[in-house]
Amino acid sequence: MDTHTLGALLLVGTLSGCAGSLGTPAAYLAYREAPLVAKVDLDMSKQHVLEIGGPPSSEMQRTVRPGSCHDYTLTQDGRPQAYHVSFDAAGRVDGKGFTTCTQMEDNARARARARVPYGGGGGY
């Protein structure tokens, strides 16, 4: 495999990994001034997030790692955009992005499966 093809594959892989949690660059550019996007930082308390963004449209308990997640819907020019803020077991922000909590959990589950080496005895 030549170096250009390898470089392109690495770039696509890196960007697709980021897209799962943060969303598209266009979404970030469109909503970067929204209080939840601009003001919520890692390790912030859940109470502080609620003060900034108000009540979420939904909340769920996470299953891949202990904690919870808030779903919000950002709106600009009549267009809705999903956004989540996730919290660790201590109620501190440990992630945020332009996906729903369910999508964030699905991505985390897929990453966890990808990290687990194949341990089957099938001889493949």
d(CA 103, CA 57): 15
**Is the model's pLDDT at 12 over the cut of 70?**
no
Residue 63 located in a structural domain: yes
Residue of 111 and 45 predicted with greater confidence? 45
Residue 85 located in a structural domain: yes
At residue 57, what are phi and psi to the nearest 5 degrees? -75, -25
**How do residues 29-54 score in pLDDT, each as one tens digit?**
999 999 999 999 999 999 999 999 99
Q: What residues form DSSP beta bridges with 74?
A: 81
Segments of 55-99 assigned E as strands? 58-61, 68-76, 79-87, 93-97
**How do residues 61-98 score in pLDDT, each as one tens digit?**
999 999 999 999 999 989 999 999 999 999 999 999 99
State how many domains the chain has.
Answer: 1
Res 81: pLDDT: 96
Question: For the domain that residue 67 is a member of, what is the CATH number?
Answer: 3.30.1450.10
Domain that holds residue 86: 24-115
Residue 13 located in a structural domain: no
d(CA 71, CA 61): 11
